[in-house]
Amino acid sequence: MKMFLLIALLALSTASYASDRQDDLVQIKLGSFVYEEFSLCKLNVPQPRNSGEFQMRISAVAPAKGVLSRDYFIAYVASATTMIQAGMALSAGARIDQISETLTCDEIDEPIGKVDLELNIRMTKDGIQIETVDGSTGKATRRTNKWEE
């Protein structure tokens, strides 16, 4: 049941993500779709040691021709972002039905000092790589998959 709720949350978040934004989400630079966003997020959980504010940078790149459409590019970015944020909220002690109240993020024009978490998404004709980088340690965690997987 928890997995169903998480999947439903991801689907709803992805579907509403593009419609919530008024500006152009994606630019085309040198033959690639390019997306970049900075957010100031707040994590509200019962355990004070897991609560707090942090800045997040989301960066995504994919070929603009032949791999996926602009809409699918946006959908993949929104899905990856929502999965990472949901995972953060759950690992900090949130219940699955409280994820949207537990972690809130507001877009900002540029980072305020150093970014705490980077989410880098790279797509090619062969697959996708999602990388998270801890801003304080520089430690990167990557997941790479072929499109067929």
pLDDT, one tens digit for every residue, the chain (149 residues): 444 444 444 444 544 444 444 457 799 999 999 999 999 999 887 666 666 889 999 999 999 998 899 999 999 999 999 999 888 888 888 888 888 888 899 999 999 999 999 999 999 999 999 999 999 999 999 999 998 87
Say what the pLDDT of residue 31 is.
92
Domain interval for residue 74:
2-146
What's the first-to-final CA gap in the chain, in angstroms? 24
Residue 44 and residue 51 in contact, taking contact as beta carbons nearer than 8 Å: yes
Say what the pLDDT of residue 37 is.
95
Burial class (CB within 10 angstroms; exposed 0-12, middle 13-18, buried 19+) of 131: middle
What is the token pair recorded at 120?
Answer: 């880098």
Per the structure, how many domains does the chain have?
Answer: 1
Cα torsion for 92, 36, 82, 72, to the nearest 10°? -160
